[in-house]
Structure 1
Amino acid sequence: MKPGIDATALAVVVVLFVAVTVLGFKAARWQQGGSLASLDEWGLGGRRFGTWVTWFLLGGDLYTAYTFVAVPAVMFASGAQGFFAVPYTIIVYPLVFLFLPRLWSVSHRRGYVTPADFVQGRFGSRALALAVALTGILATMPYIALQLVGIQAVFEVMGLGGSGNILLADAPLFLAFAVLAAYTYSSGLRAPALIAFVKDLLIYLVIVVAIVYIPTRLGGWGGIFDAAERKFAAADGAAGHPAEFSFAAVGQAWPYATLALGSAMALFMYPHAITAVLSAKNRAVPRRNAAILPAYSFLLALLALLGFMAIAAGIKPVGLNGKPNAQLSVPMLFDAMFPSWFAGVAFAAVAIGALVPAAIMSIAAANLWTRNVYKAFLRPGATHAEEARQSKLVSLVVKFGALIFVLGLDKSFAINLQLLGGIWILQTFPAIVFGLYTRWFHRWALFAGWAVGMAYGTWTAYNISNPLTGAQHFGGSTASIPLLGEKGYVAMTAWVLNVVVTVVATVVLRALKVPNGQDRTQPGDYLADAGEPGVRDVVTPGVTGKSGAAAEA
């Protein structure tokens, strides 16, 4: 790390940061069909985004600081095991190609804004809908925290921050947080949708330059892989592991496979991913995006290799507080390999790449609170304007919750923040995805399965320590799988328990003839498209005098 503050890099970051901030505030008027005083306009961008806007929005939403910072950090510290992120982003798209169009259709036909809205309408269960909503909010916070960790890493490599006084150490993070909060409050989903164009262009520019230029300074790709293999062979020997344990993931099949499959199943359960899909203007948009989003998976594979480049470059990721921090490996690589002005471009790409998803995540979590807690339980008669105002305020509170995760949990392996959220959000899969195809599962059985999965997953994750970082709790995401004796992603084990409990409880409750609630949806709702009877044209309620898609089902 270069001593002192890199003024040139900082200037470039500030200029680009200011540019996207102005863009974020200007976005309030972009594609606006009326006042932002409704969740359809503020929280879903008017539900008018086409294929390319949705592609950039989903790309900005799903490929985040996780992509640019956390995955390469795992590659740098642990070897090829970190590559699980590449197959998971390939597995996920055939899955979402099947169920997301159905969710889009029923949500537009019935005016649902959140996945919990759908669960409420499908199963007639306020308790199950509340469970889905609160789980979504909880799981989103560590994911937002991961974005803030990415921003913090960039600032630290530029020389901002420090040790000791927490206000001084994290002042740049708080400033970025304030800017994010301001333009999210002002412009809603349109802000990250518009900024996503800039974010993706910067990331593609940086990765193309990095993949072409950095290997020329490190002896080519052969030299890069040789350096990585030497590092992990030495570490494996010292730890008593088999040869190439880390580099080739020998004996790690179960953790690798369960991390990939569990992450794929969890990805589009996150409320921010569903929010981006529901902002699409017709049913074909989610299908097209499932076909073209794998282009980002190729980008992710290239980004992951930055971790090996950092090894070959001899990067020693130690923070300003003197402690090792693998999250600094990629920013420090850029700092060492690029001239200051282009390092500033790369740092801006990471920071802006973290702001876009953080904005969408806070909007999605706020929508869940407003629709499924505030309106459902606290103020049933809330107007559309009151809903929008409540979501704006809660989007700020959610970001404060994310800061608690940032300041309270171990950040040296930030990917654990995302994997922790995955443990929780995967427990909503049966209620949402199974519910799109069948009502055989009993509502109380789904609730019981969710409760068991959440309890097991949380308790198991809490008891995982990390001797490398000294973390006593939430120090990892893999644990021994009951009955198998192999280690696997905790989310998958919890999900299997969830499904088993749901199936058994459904059989019992149906045998006892316990009422299963009223289904407010119809079979035709799941295949409806824009322009068809019953699929309303979305305009701002209370402004034009017409009804909007956020009306009660």
Structure 2
Amino acid sequence: MKDVNWVALTVFLLFFAVVSVMGFLASRWRRADNALHLDEWGLGGRSFGTWITWFLLGGDLYTAYTFIAVPAAIYATGAGGFFAVPYTIIAYPLVFLFLPRLWSVSRVHGYVTPADFVRGRYGSRGLSLAVALTGILATMPYIALQLVGIQAVLDVLGVGGSGNWFMKDLPLFLAFGVLAAYTYSSGLRAPALIAFVKDTLVYIVIIVAVIYIPMRLGGYAHVFDSAAQKFSAPGSKGSLIVGPHAQWTYATLALGSALALFMYPHSVTGVLASKSRNTVRRNMAIMPAYSLMLGLLALLGFMAIAAGVGKGIKGYNNQLAVPQLFEDMFPDWFTGVAFAAIGIGALVPAAIMSIAAANLFTRNVYKEFVNPAATPADETKVAKVASLLVKVGALVFVLLMDKQFAINLQLLGGLWILQTAVSIVAGLFTRWFHRWALLAGWAVGMAYGTWKAYGISSAATKHFGGNSAEIPVIGQIGYIGLTAFVLNLAVAVVLTLVLKAAKAPEGVDETDRADYTADAGDRAVEDAPQPAAAH
């Protein structure tokens, strides 16, 4: 190794060691009567209160994507990268309407995944399988984005070899090996406990960064002047203000991302781990505090421009902008703290994502189609193994796809997971849609979105090089995922009318109206299936 920042690396490794120990010890935290039950391993016993849920969801939703990809997009393209700020503001009022209903019906019937709910609501194994597989597929690139975040930190620290890809990525593999081990051992309790450290570090680093770095750079006026100069230069591909030609892209990207945020399996997992309906409602009210943090983080992209990060380097990797900014601006010891915040900020959501994907595979593929007689202990054992395999799939994404624009990894997952929104959200309020129509709409949305995304090239990659294309009929450039969602919904509505007219069988709905408003302490919740104690 050469050019290693040993002080920063030592601090980074110290924090990594602390959270690793916490991850393994988490299995003893709020110890379950029966650890070999998916409710316990995959949902933490459905027992988390307001503050634990708040830290868990914050650690879950605000990831390496927050620290790395969003500022990198702003560093490269300017104002367009700020779409992430309004989308998180839009998301919480929307999900406040339906997530408490999802918690209630899931608690009454013992649902562990959103696909469980779809199976019970529509009586459709095929639709449930489609939702489950989409969730697993969409989670892969999101976990991959966490890998990219850790890799960016390791690159700036100077860790790893060169030339041989295996030696260069060895520290990354070791980090995720530890992640895989404590996730396997402790389940959701591990990221829930580590999230306290992660969120505390993140807030400390952000507060220091937005005060200290501009002071060193000559103030925010100089920061914005530097960004304006870069984006007004001839040949620049970005802008300091979103122009008229990009407004449809910006708006549709923000709206589509907001609709997709809580469709992700890991988001639902964090919600279903809450101990009550009111816990979910309170968290949806206080979670926007993280949106303020996201807005401040986004400014780091402009600060990197003002600091001259990557200036004059041809083909500079934009994902290194923030880590390099921290190393250039902070004392070495605090650089280690900042890098620990990014690294742990990747490990926490990666753990939750792998657990959520494993829950989907176990409940909606393995138990539904492979071994219907599987016991709760069998389910938990399969889920543990599946969580390891999901991480391997994420590594494939990292190795095969372009890392210069890591944000596209998450946006591709968002495109896919958005196609499950019609089945899940509509089902929480109405049984009007026909199960076959929903399945057809999902297929159209998935096919169209994947086809359009595949056809987009960039300077770095021939396929999946962007997230926006021309919107049919309107003719404006917009987010592919939202266009696919509209097509999905249109097909579902039209085919539902046709199938109802033809009196096609609609499947059995195992839920009741009262299930959607049940709360902790209600008879329906108290009578719900509980994990049996180990014998």
TM-score by length of 2: 0.98
Give the equivalent residue in structure 1 for 2:7.
Answer: 8
* 1:109-508 paired onto structure 2 within 5 Å: 109-234=108-233, 237-238=234-235, 246-251=239-244, 252-316=246-310, 323-467=315-459, 469=460, 471-508=461-498
Shift of 1:29: 1.1
Q: Distance in 1 between matches of 2:167 and 2:337?
A: 25
For the Cα contact (< 8 Å) 1:317–1:326, is it kept in 2? no
Secondary structure in structure 2 of the residue aligned to 1:170 = helix
For the Cα contact (< 8 Å) 1:442–1:509, is it kept in 2? yes
Equivalent in 519, 535, 548 of residue 525 of structure 2: 535
For the Cα contact (< 8 Å) 1:318–1:328, is it kept in 2? no
Cα deviation digits, residues 460-483 of structure 1 (max 9, x gap)? 11111112x2x0001111111111
Q: Distance in 2 between matches of 1:539 and 1:528?
A: 15
Q: Distance in 2 between matches of 1:465 and 1:160?
A: 31
For the Cα contact (< 8 Å) 1:180–1:359, is it kept in 2? yes
Q: Aligned letter for 1:61?
A: D
Which segments of structure 1 move beyond 6 Å, counting only runs of 4 or more? 537-540
Shift of 1:542: 4.0
Secondary structure in structure 2 of the residue aligned to 1:14 = helix
Equivalent in 506, 513, 516 of residue 526 of structure 1: 516
Shift of 1:543: 2.2
Secondary structure in structure 1 of the residue aligned to 2:235 = helix
Q: Distance in 2 between matches of 1:219 and 1:114?
A: 50
Secondary structure in structure 1 of the residue aligned to 2:478 = strand
Secondary structure in structure 2 of the residue aligned to 1:342 = helix
Cα separation, partners in 2 of 1:318 and 1:530, compared to 1, 3 Å = farther
For the Cα contact (< 8 Å) 1:37–1:540, is it kept in 2? no
Report the RMSD for the aligned CA atoms in angstroms: 1.5
For the Cα contact (< 8 Å) 1:317–1:329, is it kept in 2? no
Q: Distance in 1 between matches of 2:100 and 2:121?
A: 16
Q: Distance in 2 between matches of 1:176 and 1:489?
A: 34
Q: Distance in 2 between matches of 1:62 and 1:318?
A: 34
Give the equivalent residue in structure 2 for 1:91.
Answer: 90
Q: Distance in 1 between matches of 2:368 and 2:79?
A: 46
For the Cα contact (< 8 Å) 2:83–2:253, is it kept in 1? yes
Q: Aligned letter for 1:331?
A: P
Q: Aligned letter for 2:254?
A: A
Q: Distance in 2 between matches of 1:402 and 1:16?
A: 24
Q: Distance in 1 between matches of 2:531 and 2:53?
A: 24
Q: Distance in 1 between matches of 2:22 and 2:326?
A: 26
Q: Distance in 1 between matches of 2:135 and 2:161?
A: 33
Q: Distance in 2 between matches of 1:293 and 1:246?
A: 30
For the Cα contact (< 8 Å) 1:114–1:274, is it kept in 2? yes
Q: Distance in 1 between matches of 2:483 and 2:160?
A: 39
For the Cα contact (< 8 Å) 1:33–1:539, is it kept in 2? no
Secondary structure in structure 2 of the residue aligned to 1:535 = helix
TM-score by length of 1: 0.95
Q: Aligned letter for 2:210?
A: I
Secondary structure in structure 1 of the residue aligned to 2:73 = helix
The answer for unaligned runs of 5 or more in structure 2 is none
For the Cα contact (< 8 Å) 2:110–2:529, is it kept in 1? no
Q: Distance in 1 between matches of 2:119 and 2:529?
A: 24
Cα deviation digits, residues 41-69 of structure 1 (max 9, x gap)? 00000000000000000000000001100
Cα separation, partners in 2 of 1:116 and 1:196, compared to 1, 3 Å = same
Shift of 1:238: 2.1
Give the equivalent residue in structure 2 for 1:17.
Answer: 16
Give the equivalent residue in structure 1 for 2:503.
Answer: 513
Q: Distance in 1 between matches of 2:455 and 2:96?
A: 36
